[in-house]
Amino acid sequence: MHPFRAAVENRDADAIEALLAEDVVFTSPVAFKPYAGRAITAAILRGVLRVFEDFRYVREIADPDGRDHAFVFTATVGGREIQGCDFLHFDEEGRIDDFTVMVRPLSAAQALSEAMGAQFERIRREAAGA
């Protein structure tokens, strides 16, 4: 099993953070502007662990050189079933330097936006304290 997938499925926030490059760029499915840096990305991902229920990966797609992965997932957020995909690129040291998430349907994306919006002050505090 891929180390990222194992970390997420085990809800191990420290292991997830350890896989992030210092200069990782996180592109959210519900925010216009990407977030740059390990501290904010790790804090956002901890927030996601708090708001997603019944999370599970259902498919993993990888390129032959192992530097690009797509992890398809399902979860529940705000009572809505959500489908999504984590698109990851790994740098030369095997750390995630680009992390893009896409989700569907729109009603679930809106529920995710609301749930994460409610978390965002805590996310900012966690990122600032990192």
| pLDDT tens, position by position, 55-105 | 999 999 998 888 999 999 999 999 999 999 999 999 999 999 999 999 999
Contact 47, 68 (CB under 8 A): no
Q: Which tens digits make up the pLDDT trace of 36-58?
A: 999 999 999 999 999 999 999 99
Regarding pTM above 0.85, the answer is yes
